[in-house]
């Protein structure tokens, strides 16, 4: 036979774990009636002994105006003030990005992220400044942008000389093709 806890004991345990609600003289009780969020917070801070209000983080929004108006203004700006200049978004951290994206639906978020994502370079065009060969004949090409590329295997039709303009583009499976001035393609990889 399985022992069971009497219902009264379970009720007493449930009641015993509930915090005691204060009466009319409990600290912070009067704060509940305040409609303005900033005044309500200041009231709670005073009631529970906090030493001054916490400054809002940069870029966060604070509520201003009446409760019915539901106007939101950036921190440090009242609803009727002149607009502040938008902060520069140079590698913004997650908090400011979250604040900037607040309220956007999923389609708008995807569009914003697509616009913010730098486009991947698909090819480069450069001038050859130096040509050398490996022991088995693979070309070593130094470009005017400082990059050094090496042929994966010898391609006799791919002739390159100093001063030629070449194009290097992405190919399948993370490989790269160098297209010579004569439109001959050869697989290469970057070494510097």
pLDDT digits (tens, 9 = 90+) for 155-180: 999 999 999 999 999 999 999 999 99
Q: Please check whether residues 128 and 184 belong to one and the same domain.
A: yes
* Burial degree of 21 (CB within 10 A; 0-12, 13-18, 19+): exposed
Q: In this structure, is residue 2 part of a structural domain?
A: no
* Burial degree of 122 (CB within 10 A; 0-12, 13-18, 19+): exposed
Q: In this structure, is residue 104 part of a structural domain?
A: no
Domain of residue 46, residue span:
30-78
pTM: 0.42
Q: Is the pLDDT of residue 11 over 60?
A: no
Q: In this structure, is residue 95 part of a structural domain?
A: no
How many structural domains are present in the chain?
A: 2
Last residue of a domain, one of 57, 78, 99: 78
Q: In this structure, is residue 171 part of a structural domain?
A: yes
Last residue of a domain, one of 19, 54, 78: 78
Distinct helix (H) and strand (E) counts, the chain: 4, 8
pLDDT of amino acid 10: 54
The rounded percent of the chain whose pLDDT value lies above 70 is 64
Q: In this structure, is residue 17 part of a structural domain?
A: no
Q: In this structure, is residue 102 part of a structural domain?
A: no
pLDDT of amino acid 182: 94
More confident residue, 7 or 114: 114
Q: Is the pLDDT of residue 72 over 60?
A: no
Q: In this structure, is residue 57 part of a structural domain?
A: yes
Last residue of a domain, one of 22, 57, 78: 78
Q: Is the pLDDT of residue 1 over 70?
A: no
Length of the chain: 192
Q: In this structure, is residue 14 part of a structural domain?
A: no
pLDDT in tens, 93-105: 677 777 777 888 8
């Amino acid at each position: 036979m399985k022992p069971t806890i009497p219902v009264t004991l379970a009720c007493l345990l449930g009641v015993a774990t509930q915090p005691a609600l204060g009466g009319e003289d409990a600290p912070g009780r009067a704060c509940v009636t305040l409609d303005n969020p900033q005044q309500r917070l200041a009231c709670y801070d005073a009631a529970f002994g906090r030493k001054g209000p916490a400054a809002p983080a940069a870029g966060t929004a604070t509520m201003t105006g009446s409760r019915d108006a539901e106007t939101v203004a950036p921190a440090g700006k009242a609803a009727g003030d002149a607009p502040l200049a938008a902060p520069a978004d140079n590698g913004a951290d997650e908090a400011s990005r979250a604040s900037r994206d607040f309220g956007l639906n999923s389609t708008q978020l995807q569009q914003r992220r697509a616009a913010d994502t730098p486009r991947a370079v698909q090819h480069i065009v450069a001038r050859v400044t130096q040509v050398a060969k490996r022991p088995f004949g693979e070309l070593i090409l130094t470009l005017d942008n400082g990059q050094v590329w090496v042929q994966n295997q010898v391609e006799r039709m791919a002739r390159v000389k100093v001063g030629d303009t070449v194009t290097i583009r992405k190919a399948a499976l993370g490989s790269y093709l160098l297209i010579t001035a004569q439109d001959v393609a050869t697989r290469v990889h970057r070494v510097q």
